Chain A
Amino acid sequence: MLNKEIDFMGIRKPAAIVSAILVLVSIISLATLSLELGLDFTSGTSVRLTYSESIDLGEVNSALSGNGYEDAVVVTFGSDREIRVLLPVDETVAIENQAAQAAEVGETIAAMLRENSSSEITLEGSDYVSAKVGEELAEQGGLGMLVALGIIMVYIAVRFQFKFSMGAVVALAHDLIITLGIFSITGMEFNLNTLAALLAIIGYSLNDTIVVSDRIRENFRRLRKGSPLEMVNISLNQTLSRTLITSLTTLLVLFSILFIGGESTQGFAIALIIGVVIGTYSSIYIASNVILYMNVTREDLMIPVKEGTELDDTP
């Protein structure tokens, strides 16, 4: 065994309290502030434009409202030379024609803004999402997460034991809620890319938790002495360097996406960075903590005889 050991579980209670507070704050924020949902989940038309010079938002706004687009919302997108103009769905237009109208509105707005600006304006594209599709996507995303969590619980319960699957799922829920909470508090846009990121966080955080659980199981089977708390502590110490290195390589990669990958993937990178940091923490403090709170015992991980004899051979 390594001589230097960190007593991770020594602060399990404070860690649990901090996590509980973070989750609570996140839930409150989600309930009151909710999420800044992107066009993917709401509905309407979004027009992307690039200017050759930096944009005077006031000028854009007045040009829009002066030409019958009072409902338009202008947001900057990436740099100060790129904007998105968001328009709500025009309810007076029959649903069959909304798409056709949305297809033309991009050109109309670009032409109109060109008249009102000395800058050269390029129409980069436009999106249209009908109200129905947006709602469905949000439902699908939520459903996807629940299904994923359910399957994971079953898998871990089969491969490990039910207490471990509780630990993993509580850790995952913890990561997802806090990541969503941060999006809610900071008001960052939540779109389909961010949803994909959330699902990736499930995968990542799970990876970490499984590695730790695997070691806990192994130690329970291998070491004859020691309380469950000691077992968990030893396991966490043994996996610590791996946990940190993998988090580091993943963060290296995510920061390169954040700084180089362009505007379209920024939200994705930010969500994942938050997720990786919280996921690393939760695999140490949440999953193991839950296992301990559920009174995990050596008997929970009874070894099949054949495997046991093999393990006894190793020092």
Chain B
Amino acid sequence: MLNRYPLWKNLLVLLVVILGFLYSLPNLYPDDPALQISHESLELTEGDTPVITTALEAAQVEFFGEENSDGSVLVRLGSLEDQLRAKTAIENALTDDYIVALNLAATTPSWMQAIGAGKMNLGLDLQGGVHFLMEVDMDAAIERRMQDNQSNVRTILREERIRSRGLNIVDSSHLEVRFATEEARRQGRSALIDSFPELQFQNRDAEGVFILDMRMSADVMLQIQRDTLQANRTTLLNRVDALGVSEPTVQQQGSDRIVVELPGVQDPAQAIRILQRIATLEFHLEAELGSPSLSYENYIYDGISVNVDNDVILQGDRVSNAVSSLDQNGLPQVILNLDGQGGNQINRISRDNVGRLMDVLLIETKSRTIVTLDAEGNEVEETEFYEDKRLIMHAVIRSALGRQFSITGLDPREANDLALLIRSGSLAAPMTIVEQSVIGPSMGRENLEQGILGVQVAATLVVLFMLAYYRVFGLAANAALIMNILLIFAIMSSILPATLTLPGIVGIVLTVGMAVDANVLIFTRIREELALGVPPQQAIDAGYNRAFTTILDANLTTFLVAAVLYTIGTGPVKGFAITLMIGIMTSMFTAIVGTRAIVNLIYGGRNVETISIGAQKRIKEVEA
């Protein structure tokens, strides 16, 4: 029994140690407090920087390293305390269209960034910021799809010259078409059935009216929910970008919720105003001359009066993307992408209407406070919601359109604005904030500092204890423990994009306490073997082998619990579970392979009389 590791195993341990060290290193470089200045629709250029620096100089704020990238300006500040003052100073110097966001700028050397080593993302509880949980109104999303269907049914019936007695939406997933005769219903049904694969058809008779019921199946509704959530998430991401937050999180949670986390944001009211700006898009045709006045509404576009037909030819949720770019002649354009059904819809309508004008309405739900008098004559403030409809596009259809088409004849600014408006309007359904949390920056820093101190003290205590109790073997366990913490940090910083939260720190601390368990198991086994009179080299080997199944069972079950926590839990529970899972995996490696490598280096390959594993002599005496 020589207890020697083959070279590859020693090299593996060495490699893991080096990687762990390298990839956790960036966490030692603190970020610079910074401000990011951008414009709602314009790209900032070098020319904008002097305005900002002058404002900062006037406010006597220490700053450095101003840079211009991706159309925004980043200024690093001397201290975190100056951040808010600097923000106000810059805001006052610029117009309201500019967005000044608090930010943190990385200071890691470029070679670290080049090997993909990054800093750990800190949760809001450790750096301050605003957390929102938003619930998407799925009923509204389904109902809008039904309105879309309603409009298509009307078009098809008109094209096929089938007369109906009206069609209306009964509830969000149920559309009924009324016919005067059974024959008309039969014709209508056969005309419609192929165009609406997502609807289930059913005949119903009532008081001399022949009704065709069209219902959405549960599967289709589920699909709509999924698409809607995806659309809402994308739109929220765009809006959050507009806020200029450095590392925002926009994540799906459950079937109808989205988590938005905005680090560094301190004014939740402003964030809510931007996030909750509910906007939808509708595509219409311009009303033909001589249409009945009830069939259109009047809007003003660029100073011209436009009559927009009431029928919606396409809903905004069919738009998958809108970007502004330059066409082959270098002229600005907006490229619109539609989904498959949207493409068919626009094609069917546009090919019959070449030469007519197409209009896009942006509908935003806004609120206003109105003052009314109650029964006792007191003034009562009430918030009222209303739909603000704006005509954002008025363009001639030049040819039959498909899934992708371009809008031209705009100036660069208009193209940019239009793309932005269309994108923000393709948000599929309204959202409600159901949970919100604001964490002040000082509280975040306090949590972080105390958390780190907690880890340090806990690790020190455990290290001292292990050293006192297990001597040389304790040393091996301690090296493994430190390696374990490094690995957890490295994995969380660079491999998994996990976020460190306060419960996460607690998870790490707990791992520190529990990671030594594997070593305790091994070492007590070795001591037992020694007490039985087994020679040291054999005792070491037997200790590691015998303890292995126990360690595996214990860690696997705990890992299962952590995995359940991670899947079911949210927020703090998830943050805790992720560090626990990572900790279990890394500690299995460090406590078994890592300590064995060290023990082998110290005792392996030679004849050993006694080993230093604490208290062992006493047992030997008892034995004698």
Contact = CB atoms under 8 A, between A and B. Distances in A.
A and B from one complex: yes
Interface stretch (B2-10, B340-348, B438-446): B438-446
Contacts, number: 233
A254 B276 CA distance: 42
Which of B133, B531, B573 is most buried by chain A, counting CB atoms within 10 A of its CB? Answer: B573
A257 B272 contact: no
Interface stretch (B90-98, B152-160, B492-500, B512-520): B512-520
Contacts of A309: none
B454 A261 contact: yes
A96 interface: yes
Given A100-B269, A103-B438, A125-B443, A3 B558 contact: no
Given A214-B550, A241-B524, A268-B503, A253 B570 contact: no
Contacts of A155: 556-557, 560
B453 interface: yes
B434 A245 contact: no
A128 B434 CA distance: 8
B83 to A, nearest CB: 16
A140 B570 contact: yes
For chain A, the bracket of interface size reads 35 or more
Interface in A204-255: 204, 206-207, 210-211, 214-215, 238, 241-242, 245-246, 248-254
B458 interface: yes
B503 to A, nearest CB: 5
A125 B432 contact: no
A253 B462 contact: yes
Contacts of B442: 122, 124
Contacts of A128: 433, 435-437
Nearest to A244: B520
A214 B383 contact: no
A258 B462 CA distance: 16
Given A200-B580, A254-B513, A152 B436 contact: no
A246 B514 contact: yes
Contacts of A124: 439-440, 442-443
Interface stretch (A6-14, A27-35, A112-120, A143-151): A143-151
B572 interface: yes
Contacts of B458: 252-253, 256-257
A262 B446 contact: yes
A85 B292 CA distance: 59
A48 interface: yes
Interface in B339-395: 367, 383, 385
Given A122-B440, A200-B510, A261-B450, A192 B133 contact: no
A252 B513 contact: yes
A95 B446 CA distance: 33
Interface of A is mostly: helix
A192 B462 CA distance: 28
Contacts of A133: 133, 434-435
Contacts of A253: 458, 461-462, 509-510, 512-513
A207 B506 contact: no
B116 interface: no
A102 interface: yes
A99 B564 contact: no
Given A103-B269, A238-B528, A125 B439 contact: yes
A152 B509 contact: no
Which of the listed residues A99, A133, A269 has the most CB atoms from chain B within 10 Å of its own CB? A99
A159 B550 CA distance: 11
A246 B520 contact: yes
Given A199-B565, A256-B458, A214 B549 contact: yes
A47 to B, nearest CB: 9
A99 B454 contact: no
Interface in B87-130: 125, 128
B509 A123 contact: no
Contacts of B555: 207
A269 B554 CA distance: 22
A287 to B, nearest CB: 13
A132 B434 contact: yes
A147 B447 CA distance: 32
Interface residues of B, number: 79
Contacts of B604: none
Given A137-B570, A144-B568, A264-B502, A257 B514 contact: no
Interface in B190-218: none
Contact of A152 (B438, B446, B561, B576): B561
A193 interface: yes
A100 B272 contact: yes
Contact of A248 (B433, B465, B531, B572): B465
B434 A242 contact: no
B33 interface: no
A265 B454 contact: yes
A128 B275 CA distance: 16
A3 B572 CA distance: 47
A99 B454 CA distance: 34
A99 B561 contact: no
A199 B561 contact: yes
A151 B564 CA distance: 9
A118 B447 CA distance: 27
B521 interface: yes
A126 B512 contact: no
B71 interface: no
A71 interface: no
A96 B275 CA distance: 12
A305 interface: no
B513 A262 contact: no
Contacts of B556: 155
26 contacts: A103-B268, A124-B439, A125-B443, A127-B437, A141-B573, A144-B565, A152-B557, A192-B573, A196-B565, A196-B569, A199-B569, A199-B573, A199-B576, A203-B580, A204-B558, A207-B558, A211-B521, A242-B524, A248-B465, A249-B466, A256-B457, A260-B450, A261-B505, A261-B509, A265-B505, A314-B542
7 closest A-B pairs by CB: A99-B433, A253-B513, A262-B450, A103-B268, A250-B513, A253-B458, A261-B454
Interface of B: 125, 128, 132-133, 135, 268-269, 272-273, 276, 367, 383, 385, 432-440, 442-443, 446-447, 450-451, 453-454, 457-458, 461-462, 465-466, 469, 502-503, 505-507, 509-510, 512-514, 516-517, 520-521, 524, 528, 531-532, 542, 549-550, 553-558, 560-562, 564-565, 568-573, 576-577, 580, 622
Given A48-B440, A156-B557, A265-B506, 16 more contacts: A3-B622, A94-B383, A99-B132, A100-B273, A104-B269, A125-B438, A140-B569, A144-B573, A192-B571, A206-B558, A207-B555, A253-B509, A257-B509, A261-B509, A265-B502, A269-B506
